[in-house]
């Protein structure tokens, strides 16, 4: 079941409107609507909050691995296939070009599957700072892959 379907089904079973769910999560009704149509996907922390409202496990809404790998899928340029046997070498070279902290934050997120709160606590950073580091690193990865594989 998709994340969108899971959220819609849980909300409907709980007899909540989108507005009521939004109010409980301190987000807009429009954002809840986007989650339910699939045009936006909540991050794993938000999925945890949604699960808390409905008293279910976050895994009932989404698989953490799927969310993490969805973030990375945007880094691969359209029309370019990643050669599986070369992937470790490509990623190792990419990581070697990053600062130690950027590489460690990247690995904590995408190898160890830690959420932004866990990474932020490890480095004594704000979660927004961690999200910024990850966003910039994904852009760097996309550029690197485009240059490396084109």
CATH number at residue 111: 1.10.10.10
8 with 46, same domain? yes
Are 44 and 64 spatial neighbours (Cβ–Cβ below 8 Å)? yes
CA 40 and chain centroid, separation: 11
Q: What is the pTM of this model?
A: 0.65
**Residue 2 to residues 5, 55, 60, Cα–Cα distance (Å):** 5, 19, 10
pLDDT digits (tens, 9 = 90+) for 53-70: 999 998 899 887 777 777
Confidence of residue 35 (pLDDT cuts 50, 70, 90): very high
Domain-ending residue, one of 42, 62, 82: 62
CATH number at residue 58: 1.10.260.40
123 with 102, same domain? yes
State the Cα–Cα distance between residues 145 and 150, nearest whole angstrom: 8
Structure token pair of residue 30: 């429009």
């Amino acid at each position: 079941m998709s994340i969108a379907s899971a959220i819609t089904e849980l909300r409907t079973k709980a007899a909540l409107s989108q507005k009521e769910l939004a109010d409980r999560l301190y987000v807009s009704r429009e954002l809840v609507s986007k989650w339910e149509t699939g045009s936006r996907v909540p991050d794993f922390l938000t999925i945890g909050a949604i699960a808390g409202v409905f008293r279910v496990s976050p895994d009932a809404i989404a698989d953490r691995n799927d969310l993490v790998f969805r973030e990375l899928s945007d880094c691969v340029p359209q029309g370019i296939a990643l050669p599986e046997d070369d992937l470790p070498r490509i990623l190792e070279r990419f990581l070697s070009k990053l600062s130690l902290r950027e590489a460690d934050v990247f690995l904590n997120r995408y190898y160890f599957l830690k959420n932004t709160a866990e990474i932020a606590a490890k480095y004594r950073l704000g979660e927004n700072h961690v999200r910024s580091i990850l966003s910039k690193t994904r852009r760097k990865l996309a550029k690197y892959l485009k240059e490396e594989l084109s």
